[in-house]
């Protein structure tokens, strides 16, 4: 029986890599799939991984109907066994309902990948609906780590290394590197404790270097 699968994790935990691997493995066994994404950092209609691989994909826009795309392809003689859907957090509730219909009515497997919560730790619309509808919700095994070494569970948005909690929900960007020379607006994965305290690597380092915390005056 076809299934709606949701693979979730923080930013930078390997979701897009897994999406590319799933597509590769199914394709290698003669199955035919379609790849979708939305707002990928590498550009429109591209599914990219930080490990360097990327493939062409169909860009999911608010007015795209998964049902129409799939039915259109099938009625023109195409074959589709599965859909790979990356950055699924950006999909609408209706998109996810369409994916569930594709699974149930057309027996096509769906492998969806995305982050659960935004920089304010609120569920994204697409992810919330996937949690409600998916046959399986799986957390990726590769752990992204907070600067303190704990498993990262939350995505922080930063401006010059300082966590912000207000702004547009969708701002395409990448995790900063250790030097914090990355773009002004970036992301950093944190454990819940440090997300709650708004303590990023940069602010923790600044606090540690502050004369106030030194034992002697
Ligand atoms: N230079 C590297 N060497 C080994 N692994 C890397 C390297 N750069 C990135 N990675 C791996 O790639 C993962 C990010 O993969 P990606 O699929 O882009 O993540 P996501 O889609 O979840 O944001 C990192 O967690 C890390 O495991
Ligand atoms: C937390 C958060 C993230 N985003 C964006 C930033 C990236 O472009 C993607 C996540 O991509 P990844 O492959 O999982 O690293 O989402 C956003 O727009 N809003 C947010 O709150």
Ranges of each domain in the chain: 4-139, 154-210
Q: What is the distance in A from the centroid of ligand 2 to the CA of 40?
A: 9
Average pLDDT (188-192) is 98
Binding site membership of 152 for ligand 1 (Cβ less than 6 Å): no
The DSSP annotation for 188-200 comes to: EEE-HHHHHTT--
Q: Which residues pair with 8 in a beta bridge?
A: 114, 139
pLDDT over 80 (residue 64): yes
- Amino acid 22: pLDDT: 98
- Among 198, 205, 123, CA closest to 163: 198
Q: What is the mean pLDDT of residues 59-80?
A: 98
pLDDT confidence of residue 210: 73
- Check: pTM over 0.90? Answer yes or no: yes
Q: Token pair 């704990």 is at which residue? A: 150
Closest ligand to Cα 43: 2
Give Cα separations from 80 to 22, 23, 33 (angstroms).
Answer: 15, 12, 5
- Cα 171 to averaged position of ligand 2 atoms, centre (Å): 7
Residue whose entry in the numeric block shows the structure tokens 């990448």: 174
Cα Rg of the chain, angstroms? 19
Do residues 158 and 182 make contact, with C-beta atoms less than 8 angstroms apart? no
Catalytic site includes residue 87: yes
Q: Which runs of consecutive H residues, i.e. helices, occur in the chain? A: 15-28, 66-75, 93-106, 125-133, 192-196, 201-209
Locate the ligand 1 atom nearest the alpha carbon of residue 50 and give its number: 18
Ligand 2: residue of 38, 89, 113 to mutate (most ligand atoms within 8 A of CB) is 89
**Terminus-to-terminus CA distance in the chain, angstroms?**
69
Confidence of residue 116 (pLDDT cuts 50, 70, 90): very high
- Residue of minimum CA distance from atom 11 in ligand 2: 11
Rounded average pLDDT over 165-169: 97
**Catalytic choice (56, 59, 87, 159):** 87
Among 128-132, 141-145, 179-183, 205-209, where is mean pLDDT lowest? 179-183
Fold adopted by 4-139: Rossmann fold (3.40.50)
Confirm if 69 and 33 have CB atoms less than 8 A apart: no
pLDDT exceeds 80 at position 167: yes
- pLDDT over 80 at 138, yes or no: yes
- Mean per-residue pLDDT of the chain: 94
Distance 133 CA to ligand 2 centre (A): 22
Answer for the pair 10, 155: CB distance below 8 angstroms, yes or no: yes
Statement: residue 169 has pLDDT above 90: yes
Please return the burial class of 43, using the count of CB atoms within 10 Å of its CB with bins 0-12, 13-18 and 19+.
Answer: exposed
Residue 54: CA count within 13 A, CB half-sphere: 15
pLDDT > 90 fraction of the chain, expressed in percent and rounded:
89
């Amino acid at each position: 029986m076809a299934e709606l699968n949701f693979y979730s994790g923080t930013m930078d935990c390997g979701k897009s890599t897994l999406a590319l691997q799933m597509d590769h493995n199914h394709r290698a066994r003669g199955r035919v799939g379609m790849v979708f994404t939305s707002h990928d950092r590498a550009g429109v209609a591209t599914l990219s991984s930080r490990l360097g691989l990327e493939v062409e994909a169909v860009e999911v826009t608010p007015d795209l109907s998964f049902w129409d795309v799939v039915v259109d392809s099938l009625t023109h003689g195409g074959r589709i066994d599965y859909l790979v859907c990356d950055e699924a957090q950006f999909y609408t509730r209706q998109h996810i309902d369409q994916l569930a219909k594709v699974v149930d009515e057309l027996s096509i497997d769906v492998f969806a990948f995305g982050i659960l919560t935004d920089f304010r730790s609120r569920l994204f619309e697409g992810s919330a609906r996937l949690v409600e509808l998916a046959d399986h919700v799986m957390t990726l095994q590769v752990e992204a780590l907070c600067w303190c070494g704990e498993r990262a569970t939350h995505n922080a948005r930063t401006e010059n290394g300082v966590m912000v909690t207000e702004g547009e929900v969708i701002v395409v960007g990448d995790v900063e590197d250790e030097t914090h020379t990355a773009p002004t607006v970036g992301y950093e994965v944190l454990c819940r404790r440090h997300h709650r305290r708004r303590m990023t690597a940069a602010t923790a380092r600044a606090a540690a270097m502050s004369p106030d915390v030194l034992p002697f005056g």
